[in-house]
Chains A and B, each alone.
Chain A
Amino acid sequence: MSDKVVSMPNEERFQARIDAEEKIEPKDWMPEKYRQNLIRQISQHAHSEVIGEQPEGNWITRAPSLERKAILLAKVQDEAGHGLYLYAAAETLGITREELIERLHTGASKYASIFNYPSLTWADVGAIGWLVDSAAIVNQVSLQNTSYGPYARAMVRICKEESFHQRQGYNIMMTLMQGNEQQRAMAQDALNRWWWPSLMMFGPHDGESAHSAQSMKWKIKRRSNDDLRQQYVDQAVQQALAIGLEVPDPDLVWNESRGHYDFGEIDWAEFERVINGNGPCNRQRLAHHVKAHEEGAWVREAMAAYDAKRGKPTVDVA
């Protein structure tokens, strides 16, 4: 290392590493705000995977065929696994799983607001897999290059599993669209209800995003909300049209000069309403997680007691 680099203050040297596309590892020096920003983002991502088990999971016992049931079980199991990778990545930043879950339960930490919508029909399982996982993939692919090493590596593992999720969801929609009138209506209704929330997954417009500018500078985020949203819309619209679904946006139109779809404005009041606790299922989603966690307390205690008796270090599994 040259003298010049050594004489740089920590913060500048850190930014120089980021600018040089070096990965930041858990033991490296990092600004406290970088750490906190990452904990916020990774834990929100982890909670989303776990809370996301619920809307699809509630169709496991009602799946319409054994093959669909097996696929859905595998899919939801993957999502729980993603939660696990991400909690592990967050823990490298010096926070425990118990603390992360505590923050979820107190509302200090968020999860993807889209999971506050209900999955009312079987078509919703298709719509979630197709749209929500598509949106997640667009976002997660960009995060494979995020500056924090453990987060980037978790994204690489997760992305490998996501394409199956998207395909199974789209396949459900396609099958419904090839079915009878009732099935096609079920698919269209699901798209009507999930379309706008899926666009909201990318967050506020770039100018209005509270954490965006700093996150881009630190390369925690690699692409802007609007940029990612546009890519998602371009893909999903084509896929909808290919199977005869109508996208519920009167302003949607192909813009030849931009080479992208123009689309209508998101209802940001609705976005705020759901984020702030007024979606159809906010209370149930959280209560479901709290209940499972509380009912499992005696099991975690038993495991810790058993390990302690045998002189094994306790694993934090909260």
Chain B
Amino acid sequence: MTANDSLLTYCLRLGDDALILGHRLSEWTSRAPFLEEDIALTNVALDFIGRARLFYQYAAELQGGDATEDTFAYTRDVRDFTNLLICELPRGDFAFTIARQFLYDSYVLLFMEQLKASKDTRLAAIGAKAEKESTYHVRRGREWMLRLGGGTEESHAKLQRAVDDLWGYTDEIFEVDTVTAGLIADGVAVDPTLLREEWLATVSRVMAEADLSQPSPGWSVEGGRRGIHTDDLGFLLAELQFMQRAYPGLQW
């Protein structure tokens, strides 16, 4: 794999994470528990879709030819998508969405703080923009963790269950394969293994504040980066890509 190919792969992974999670968040629009939260969730969805576009636009330049941001979003199949599994899990209830966002956003914030310092100036610029958004996402996530954890018995139980159901998907976030390793060595990619301790400290602290017990380790699922997904991703793509599949090659 050339350096350019590695960088393209890296951009697609980050773009896929953002697109797929943004899609799940956008499913909340008009379905949130109350109007203020409807607006907030839509806003966060918009941040992730915007982020996906930036990564895909860069990827399109790296690929060259006729590729555009939409090529990656709309014409690849499940096996080509390389998002983390945690991003594609169905939206679940509100507790699940909050827990997923909190676990993932806490990582993404640390990640973007580092990406900002990438030797690749395009990635660095995306990192700087995303860091600002993620700062807000994490603050919001923490507030909700405390509210649901410390609200009613029901909300506490739902949140605990959500965290338990998600925990096994968090290992994958910190994986490094040969593609990432090469880019890390070049000072282009972020080394997620260096973020793990701080991430764990942050989420453990908030889970404790929210009166949650630490989920038991003991299970761990991975595969997204290799295009091995849950069954849910195919249905997500069927919806996401409907127009481009039904009417290929048109401008909208």
**Interface residues in chain A, defined as those with a beta carbon under 8 Å from any beta carbon in chain B:** 50, 53-54, 57, 60-70, 73-74, 76-77, 80-81, 83-84, 87, 122, 172, 175-176, 178-180, 182-183, 288-289, 291-293, 295-306, 309, 317-318
Contact = CB atoms under 8 A, between A and B. Distances in A.
Contacts of A63: 243
Contacts of A301: 151-152, 154-155
A61 B235 CA distance: 12
Interface stretch (B38-46, B118-126, B192-200, B218-226): B38-46
B70 A73 contact: no
A80 B38 contact: yes
Interface residues of B, number: 48
25 contacts: A60-B29, A63-B243, A64-B250, A65-B70, A65-B252, A66-B53, A73-B29, A73-B45, A74-B46, A80-B35, A84-B39, A87-B35, A183-B247, A291-B31, A292-B31, A292-B33, A295-B31, A296-B32, A296-B33, A298-B154, A299-B155, A301-B154, A302-B155, A317-B34, A317-B36
A53 B41 CA distance: 14
Nearest to B24: A61
A69 B27 CA distance: 12
B151 A62 contact: no
B29 to A, nearest CB: 5
A291 B250 CA distance: 37
Nearest to A288: B30
A57 B247 CA distance: 21
Contacts of A87: 35
B158 interface: yes
A180 B49 contact: no
B250 A183 contact: yes
A304 B33 CA distance: 13
B244 interface: yes
B227 interface: no
Given A57-B29, A62-B243, A292-B31, A70 B53 contact: yes
A179 B42 contact: no
Interface stretch (B109-117, B130-138, B142-150): B142-150
A53 B243 CA distance: 21
Chain B residues touching A, majority SS: helix
Nearest to A54: B30
Contacts of A293: 33
Interface of B: 19, 23, 26-27, 29-39, 42-43, 45-46, 49-50, 52-53, 56, 69-70, 73-74, 93-94, 146-148, 150-152, 154-155, 158, 239-240, 242-244, 247, 250-252
A62 B29 contact: no
A46 to B, nearest CB: 9
A295 B33 contact: yes
A67 B49 CA distance: 9
Contacts of A302: 147-148, 151-152, 154-155
Given A300-B34, A302-B147, A61 B152 contact: no
Contacts of A288: 30-31
The 10 A-B pairs of least Cβ separation, nearest first, read A296-B33, A302-B151, A302-B155, A64-B243, A64-B252, A299-B33, A53-B30, A77-B42, A317-B34, A306-B151
B30 A57 contact: yes
Nearest to A52: B30
B26 A64 contact: no
Contact of A73 (B49, B93, B151, B239): B49
A84 B70 contact: no
Nearest to A51: B30
A220 to B, nearest CB: 24
B94 A70 contact: no
A64 B74 CA distance: 8
Most buried by A among B33, B152, B154, B242: B33
Contacts of B52: 66
A317 B35 contact: yes
Given A288-B30, A299-B148, A66 B56 contact: yes
A45 B56 CA distance: 39
Nearest to A318: B34
Contacts of A182: 247
Contact of B155 (A179, A291, A298): A298
A127 to B, nearest CB: 14
Contact of A180 (B74, B239, B242, B250): B250
A62 B37 CA distance: 22
A13 to B, nearest CB: 37
Given A70-B53, A305-B151, A305-B152, A61 B35 contact: no
Given A68-B252, A80-B39, A299-B155, A306 B147 contact: yes
A77 B250 CA distance: 27
Contacts of A317: 34-36
Contacts of B50: 70
Contacts of B45: 73
A310 to B, nearest CB: 8
